[in-house]
Each structure stands twice: as structure tokens, then as C-alpha cells.
Chains A and B, each alone.
Chain A
Amino acid sequence: MNWFNILEAGVSVLLVAVALAAVLSKKLLVSIIFLSALSMMAVSAFALLSAPDVAVTEAVIGSGLVTFIFVASIRNLGKAGEKL
């Protein structure tokens, strides 16, 4: 059990915790921010699993562009969605 294993265990626990927070949060905007954080956790997991190519793609698309598209959609929902 060296520091690397501890880091891996921490990332795995955070992945599950952030995913639960994203599902359970009441406001849609908060959910999206947690989803973005989940992507960043996934980036760390991919980097630890020595998949840097996937990590770079996930960092750009998962936590950058997808977050923007979700926020833009929520704003367009207007009255049909929740008050932000």
C-alpha cells in the first residue's frame, strides 16, 4: 500500500461521491456542476490508469464543452424547467 494506491482509492471514492451528489442535488444547475466535477475525477482516474489520450479528450469535452451545452440547454428551457 504505497501513496499511489492511496491516491487511486481516494479518486475512486470521490468518483462515486460526486456522481451521487450530481444525481441527488435538487437544482439542475448544481447537478451540472457536479457532473463537470465528475468528469475531472474521471480524468484523474484515466491518467492513473495510464490512458493519457482518453484523459486529454475527457478533460476538453467532458468537463468543458458538455458543461456548456447543458447550461445553454437549461437556459433555453425557460419556464418549462426549474427556476435557476
Chain B
Amino acid sequence: MKRVFAGLLAVAFGVVLLLGISASTGLFSYNEELLDDSAASHYIAKDVNGDTGEIIFGETMDAETGSANMVTSVIANYRSFDTLGEVTVLFLAALGVSLLAGSMDKGRKRRKSGFILKVSSGILFPLMLVTGIYIFTHGHLTPGGGFPGGSMIASSFLLLYLADENFRANVRGFKIAEGIAGTLYVVLGIIGLLAGGYFLINFLPTGVVGNLFSGGIIPIVYVIIGLKVGSEITGIITDMFNEEVKA
């Protein structure tokens, strides 16, 4: 009886969700008329610095954020202070994991890894590392940014851990990198406060939309976030392998 009731509840919830989604967008595709009425499209169409002209990739100069990726202009420019808080949350999570996992039993034997994994990790590791760096340096141009890029760097180190049972990452180096990156983010905000009057204001020229060196402080912020997230999650992975090197 209980299970039947739970099943009915789940099905009813699914039907309500599907009806809600299809009312506004169709099952998986946009309903253009309804989309034009939504709040999001008003924000997309809103002109922000008085220039109502079309933004042309590779030609428009000195747009307000200068980022070709709309999501990035919100994350690393308009709501950059929220991102600072988000990075702090991740730091606290990593601290908690290291406090908990650091007290667990050490010296357990790690499972020997297979030959195929060992050989292929040598090929995959540099590719994953470079892809991660690419994702966060091009965060203002292409999808992705500091958080996915940093996580990809961390997962390349995870591959090394899985492939070689004697591998140890340099934990102290990662912690120093993490601390420096976090401090630089705040320092960047304070420079903005002194130069432009607001914490984390975009005080650099934004350049041509679509160039690698454009978007003012957005690429700098994303490189900082990428390095911080990468070293933090690598630290978490190291803790999960219970091999915290005693400082």
C-alpha cells in the first residue's frame, strides 16, 4: 500500500512537472511567443550603457562587460561578489573534508592499477590538463569558466592517483597556490574599489568582443578562480585517498 501510494505520488509529481514545462516551452524546445514574454528575454534585450546597436562578434568595441558569453558576464562581472562567496563556500567545504579525512586511518594499501590505465594515463593527463586550462582562460568567449576548468584540472590529477599507486600530489604547493589565488581575488576587488568606487568593478578597458584579451578583469578573475578551484578539489581528492602528507 505504502509503495503504491509513493509510486502514485511520484507519477503525479512528474505529470505536474511535465505540464509546467510544456506550458512554457514545449517538451524540450522553445515556444518563441512565450519566450518573448518571459523575464529573462527582457534582461537579455535590455540596453545597459545607452548603446542599443547590435553587438557584432569581433567588431564591437567597449561593450559594457566585453564578454561574448552571457553567463560569464553575470558570474564574473555583475555578480562577481556572489562568486567570491561561492569560492569561499568551496574553501570551507575543502577545509571540512581535510579535517575529517585527515583523522582517518592512514597507511592502507592502495589497489594496484591495471597496465592499460597506467599507459593511457600518460597520454590522457596532459590533454585533460590543457583542456582545463583552455576552458578557464577562454571563459569569457566559450561555454565553461573557472569552476568547470578547475574541476577538469582536478580530475586529471585524480587520473594520476588512480593510475599510479605510489603517486602523491604536492599538497603543500597546492595549498599555497590556493591561498595566493584567493588573496588575489580580494586584492583585485580592492583595486576596483580604489579605482572605480565599487568592490570588484571592471576597471580595465573591455576591448573588442571576441578577442582573447578582452572583457577587462573577467579573464583575470576566471584564471584566479580556475587555479583556486583546481587546487582545492585536488586537495579534496588527496584527502579522500587518505594520504595527507604531514606538514
Contacts and interface: CB of A to CB of B under 8 A. Distances in A.
A11 B143 CA distance: 22
Contact-size category for A = 20 to 34
A76 B110 CA distance: 12
Contact of A60 (B27, B29, B151): B151
A12 interface: yes
Contacts of B241: 72
Interface string A44-84: 01001100110111011100110011001000100000000
A62 to B, nearest CB: 10
A68 B237 contact: yes
A8 B71 contact: no
Nearest to B135: A56
A11 B148 CA distance: 23
Contacts of A4: 29
Interface string A5-46: 100110110000000000000000000000000000000010
B145 interface: yes
Contact of B28 (A48, A56, A57): A48
A73 B72 CA distance: 34
A10 B51 CA distance: 43
Nearest to B139: A53
A21 to B, nearest CB: 15
Interface stretch (B41-49, B52-60, B152-160, B187-195): B152-160
Contact of B29 (A8, A52, A53, A72): A8
B151 A53 contact: no
A48 B30 CA distance: 11
Contacts of A11: 28
Interface string B207-247: 00000000000000000000000000100010011000000
Given A8-B28, A53-B71, A60 B143 contact: no
Contacts of B145: 53
17 contacts: A4-B29, A9-B27, A11-B28, A12-B28, A53-B148, A56-B143, A56-B148, A57-B148, A61-B148, A64-B151, A65-B155, A65-B233, A68-B155, A68-B237, A69-B240, A72-B240, A76-B104
Q: Which 5 pairs of residues, A with B, have the shortest CB-CB distance?
A: A52-B143, A8-B28, A60-B151, A56-B144, A56-B148
Given A8-B27, A56-B135, 15 more contacts: A5-B29, A8-B28, A9-B27, A9-B28, A11-B28, A12-B28, A56-B143, A56-B148, A57-B147, A57-B148, A61-B148, A61-B151, A64-B155, A65-B155, A69-B240
